[in-house]
Structure 1
Amino acid sequence: MVIKQINSMTEVSAVSWNNLVQNNDPFVCHEFLLALEQSGSISEANGWQSKHLLVFEQQELIAAMPLYLKNHSRGEYVFDQQWADAYYQSGIDYYPKWLNSIPFTPCQGQRILIKKGQDIPAVMKLCVDTIKEYSQQKNISSLHCLFPDYCQIEDLPQDMLIRTGVQFQWFNKNYRDFDDYLQSFTSRQRKNINKERRKVRQQGIQLQRLSGAEVTEQQWQVFYHFYEMTYLKRGQSAYLNIDFFQQLAQTMPEQILLVLANDEKAYVGAALSFIGQDALYGRYWGCYDEYHSLHFEACYYQGLEYCIEHNKQIFDSGAQGEHKISRGFKPINTYSAHWILNPDFAKLIADFLKHEQEMIQGYKQDCMQLLPFKALD
């Protein structure tokens, strides 16, 4: 096996890269990563240097690793700022660091793309050992693999520290329609959901679901204003720009689902999701004014209906959001893996993660008690 590092997705064939993608995962496909770079949503100037690894065997691409060199921790959804502060207080540089992840995307998936039939642990070890060697040579503090599939966690080298988190996801039990899904709820919770959906209709709001190919240029502009507003309300700038979304509309429209809400006079909100082989991924939402229950309708109920109608088994609605529990989203474990160059800090972080995991599991158990179903599975 021969390994090569590239500085842009333009240096690798889309066909060769996408042949390694499993489950039609939209976020690790060549088109998604290329749009991040070409739109300028990520760049060396804003702290994201593309440094992807390619693994070849007799000139055939057999593995690939999305990899970035970062000088901050923004846009990651696995928070290590305390670690960076500890380094700073000790007079040691934490940045730059290696990040094996999808920018701004807290969704689980392949983090090392490997052709079927290959020796997976051997390929992973080669990639991680290469990064370790670069780190020693260039004094780069660490490697962070965020939101890998659990099966990939098991095949990573043993000296990587595993961190556990919790997200909320929905699982399809072969529901016939949304009403059939609600039959699994307690009577009280079922009434609450129906009341929320009724409130949206009573405000004169209608919902429209569009595939990427159906979205007009004007509708993309509308969506982007809503998306940008979500960040501006928090005094922040949006991570992604309109060019990113417009490029995806051209290169992967079949994997885009846009929900638009209007009150007959104007659009009042929008939610954007991405479509995988068996999963729907809820990603971006925005609105100008607050409407009763509109967020729940656009971001969750419309997505749930889509999953049931199209036989999607999982609705991954992204990070955080305890309000999802009462709507049937179950707490599940997420993972990240970390290699730390400095042995003293590696031990300190390992101790921290051990205690953190105990709290995370307690939190997950508490969340399970709040699910709205008649009886827990």
Structure 2
Amino acid sequence: MLTLTTHPSIDKFDPQTWDALGDGNPFTTHRFLLALEQSGSVGTGTGWQPLHLSVESGGQVVGVAPLYAKSHSQGEYIFDHAWAQAYSRAGGRYYPKLQCAVPFTPATGQRLLARDNQARAALLSGLMQVTERLEVSGAHITFCTEAEAALGADAGFLPRVTQQYHWLNRGYGSYDDFLGALSSRKRKELRKERARAQAFGGTIRHLTGDDLKPHHWDAFWQFYQDTGARKWGQPYLTRRFFDRIHDTMRADILLVLAEEDGYPIAGALNFLGPDAIYGRYWGCVADHAFLHFELCYHQAIDHAIAHGLSRVEAGAQGDHKLARGYEPVPIHSLHWVRDPGFLRALESYLDQERDAMGAEIEALADFTPFRKPG
């Protein structure tokens, strides 16, 4: 017999038990999700109320899922604002809803952390049960794996495909090897871009583990605030979050820092997974040509090649990534709403959207800088 339970905080779980069910993705670790809660980045007043899900068998936890009750659609990056408006126009109440996700983190990874597919199926069924019991509009699983998307479709969730740009390591031994796969014109353009960026008058440093010090987070907080104010109005993360990840996750972090006369002027914050590097935040207090591209994209590629990582995930959106060798890839999510009429309408919409997205990904692939065969 399987027992389903919801939990108002991840600190109700044993960290080793939670992490043993995952695949090492830094964002679904107990320490990352706990840092969000302990720092006040999620919880009361944020619109992200923890409601984590667990499945037990014989008194043993065999599956968990990061779950939140949402009162808005901010910080998700797979957009459903139009759905919310349509739901409201039809006389329904779209919020609150349930979101199985990592807050503010558009990075693919397991969302159904489990011992086996039976436990994953139980988590999917449990999400529907909790949705019914709480009488919220629906449940959404965002940035899940392709395998989870297939399981979810079998369970009655509607699969959705969107798109991101990832850099894929095809066995390159160096950045020059990667450039060798590009057309001659694109190779020259990227070499010029990197040379100009690196001539900003300072140095670029890679900091991870114990090389990271509290004053580095003071500098990065300024960068984060500046970017947040220009892009989305109010940053999602609190200052305490960066203190928490310094204490518990600095071995999972790569901070690429640009310094001028020993003073930090720009930085890109990355998280490290077993087989990928994830670019998350960037900011600066001084403008230099192409420095953003250098710190966020080229330096991440350098690190991935040097450490044998299979890919760089550099976050949401950004057609400019194409010219830097980042390729369009499908992103998977799952959606279920309680209202059967709206569910049918949503299914029809998503069928059409998947076809259109497949065509878009195929078309975008023609704009990558790689040499064309033949």
Secondary structure of 1:236 counterpart:
coil
Cross-structure match for 1:34: 34
Q: Quick one: which of 352, 356, 359 aligns to 2:356? A: 359
Secondary structure of 1:94 counterpart:
coil
Matched, 1:75 2:107: no
Secondary structure of 1:27 counterpart:
helix
Q: Tell me if the contact between 1:210 and 1:258 (Cα under 8 Å) persists in the aligned partners.
A: yes
Matched, 1:219 2:216: yes
Q: Structure 2 CA distance, aligned partners of 1:366 and 1:102?
A: 30
Shift of 1:340: 1.0
Residue correspondence of structure 1 range 254-273 to structure 2 within 5 A: 254-264=251-261, 266-273=263-270
Q: Tell me if the contact between 1:213 and 1:249 (Cα under 8 Å) persists in the aligned partners.
A: no
Shift of 1:231: 1.1
Matched, 1:343 2:340: yes
Shift of 1:198: 1.0
Cross-structure match for 2:172: 175
Q: Tell me if the contact between 1:273 and 1:283 (Cα under 8 Å) persists in the aligned partners.
A: yes
The code of the aligned residue for 1:194 comes to R
Q: Tell me if the contact between 2:63 and 2:120 (Cα under 8 Å) persists in the aligned partners.
A: no
Q: Which moved more, 1:260-269 or 1:42-51?
A: 260-269
Q: Deviations over 1:24-50 (max 9, x none)?
A: 210000000000000000013111111
Query: CA 1:311–1:99 in 2, change beyond 3 Å: closer, same or farther?
Result: same
Residue correspondence of structure 1 range 148-297 to structure 2 within 5 A: 148-156=144-152, 157-234=154-231, 236-264=233-261, 266-297=263-294
Q: Which moved more, 1:329-338 or 1:56-65?
A: 56-65
Matched, 1:315 2:316: no
Q: Structure 2 CA distance, aligned partners of 1:307 and 1:78?
A: 26
Shift of 1:241: 1.3
Secondary structure of 2:345 counterpart:
helix
5+ residue gaps, structure 1, are: none
Q: Tell me if the contact between 1:142 and 1:338 (Cα under 8 Å) persists in the aligned partners.
A: yes
The code of the aligned residue for 1:294 comes to L
Shift of 1:265: 5.5
Q: Quick one: which of 126, 132, 136 aligns to 2:128? A: 132
Q: Tell me if the contact between 2:327 and 2:368 (Cα under 8 Å) persists in the aligned partners.
A: yes
Q: Structure 2 CA distance, aligned partners of 1:165 and 1:234?
A: 21
Cross-structure match for 1:10: 11
Q: Structure 1 CA distance, aligned partners of 2:105 and 2:189?
A: 31
Matched, 1:107 2:91: no
Cross-structure match for 1:59: 59
Shift of 1:89: 1.2
Q: Structure 2 CA distance, aligned partners of 1:290 and 1:208?
A: 18
Q: Structure 2 CA distance, aligned partners of 1:235 and 1:15?
A: 35
The code of the aligned residue for 1:203 comes to F
The code of the aligned residue for 1:16 comes to T
Secondary structure of 1:170 counterpart:
strand
Query: CA 1:47–1:247 in 2, change beyond 3 Å: closer, same or farther?
Result: same
Q: Deviations over 1:152-205 (max 9, x none)?
A: 111224421111101111111221111121111111101111111111233213
Matched, 1:374 2:368: no
Q: Deviations over 1:96-152 (max 9, x none)?
A: 10100000011111111012xx3x0x3233223223223223321100000111011
Q: Structure 1 CA distance, aligned partners of 2:126 and 2:180?
A: 52
Query: CA 1:215–1:57 in 2, change beyond 3 Å: closer, same or farther?
Result: same
Percent identity (aligned): 35
Shift of 1:348: 1.0
Residue correspondence of structure 1 range 93-104 to structure 2 within 5 A: 93-104=93-104
Q: Structure 2 CA distance, aligned partners of 1:112 and 1:213?
A: 32
Q: Tell me if the contact between 2:198 and 2:291 (Cα under 8 Å) persists in the aligned partners.
A: no
5+ residue gaps, structure 2, are: none
What is the TM-score of this pair, normalised by structure 1? 0.96
Q: Deviations over 1:242-264 (max 9, x none)?
A: 21111111112111000001222
Cross-structure match for 2:141: 145
Q: Structure 1 CA distance, aligned partners of 2:239 and 2:135?
A: 36
Shift of 1:92: 1.0
Aligned length: 372
Q: Tell me if the contact between 1:212 and 1:258 (Cα under 8 Å) persists in the aligned partners.
A: no
The code of the aligned residue for 1:139 comes to E
Query: CA 1:376–1:50 in 2, change beyond 3 Å: closer, same or farther?
Result: farther
What is the TM-score of this pair, normalised by structure 2? 0.96
Q: Deviations over 1:294-323 (max 9, x none)?
A: 011000111111111111111111111111
Q: Which moved more, 1:143-152 or 1:282-291?
A: 282-291
Secondary structure of 2:304 counterpart:
helix
